[in-house]
């Protein structure tokens, strides 16, 4: 995958991205919302092994480049039945809360719908109100809240919210 819109590029993660991914994945500030406030504790070599099995038909880890610099990552998973599950992290805090998330998500969602997916799903921490606002602005519908449904890395009980989006509800910000 290689999607471009002005200063933003979403591209397949490559072996050369593994060092940067390891930095982000091992940073507790970046990973806290995903349940890993101490980071993942993974190596670039482990990430290299993971991305070597990525295929458009099954799953794909993606890098977000903005004005020539890598600022975050995305992923999508083929869940079957024309459903894709997506995730996004703008890892460089300098580019958070700048409106880029809506544009970047719009680019990926538009591409996935163009590839034949009929539904996009995702989940986020119930406390992540900023993400929920972005998802709802894009047309995602809240499916359910999962109260006290999982425990993070340091033993804190967490809640999540599940969202879904179908093409006719998609609000495109590209």
Task: Delimit the domains of the chain by residue range.
Answer: 2-123
CB 72 within 8 A of CB 64: yes
- How distant is the alpha carbon of residue 1 from its chain centre? 15
pLDDT in tens, 108-165: 999 999 999 999 999 999 999 999 999 999 999 999 999 999 999 999 999 999 999 9
Using the predicted structure, report yes or no on whether residue 33 has a pLDDT greater than 90: no
pTM equals 0.94
90 pLDDT tier (thresholds 50, 70, 90): very high
Report the pLDDT averaged over residues 10-18: 97
What does the pLDDT read at residue 34? 87
CB 156 within 8 A of CB 34: no
User: Which DSSP category does 96 fall into?
Assistant: T
What does the pLDDT read at residue 136? 98
Q: Note the CATH number of domain 2-123.
A: 3.40.630.30
What does the pLDDT read at residue 40? 95
CB 11 within 8 A of CB 63: yes
């Amino acid at each position: 995958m290689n999607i471009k819109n002005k200063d933003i590029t979403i591209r397949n993660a490559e072996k050369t991205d593994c060092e940067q991914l390891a930095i982000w994945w091992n940073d507790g500030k970046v990973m806290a919302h995903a349940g890993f406030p101490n980071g993942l504790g993974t190596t670039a070599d482990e990430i290299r092994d993971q991305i070597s099995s990525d295929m458009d038909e099954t799953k794909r880890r993606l890098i977000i480049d903005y004005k020539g610099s890598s600022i975050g990552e995305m992923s999508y998973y083929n869940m079957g039945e024309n459903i894709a599950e997506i995730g996004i992290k703008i890892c460089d805090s300098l580019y958070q809360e700048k409106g880029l998330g809506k544009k970047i998500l719009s680019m990926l969602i538009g591409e996935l719908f163009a590839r034949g997916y009929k539904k996009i799903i995702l989940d986020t921490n119930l406390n992540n109100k900023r993400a929920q606002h972005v998802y709802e602005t894009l047309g995602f519908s809240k499916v359910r809240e999962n109260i006290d449904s999982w425990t993070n890395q340091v033993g804190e009980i967490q809640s999540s919210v599940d969202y879904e989006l179908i093409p006719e509800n998609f609000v495109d910000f590209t």
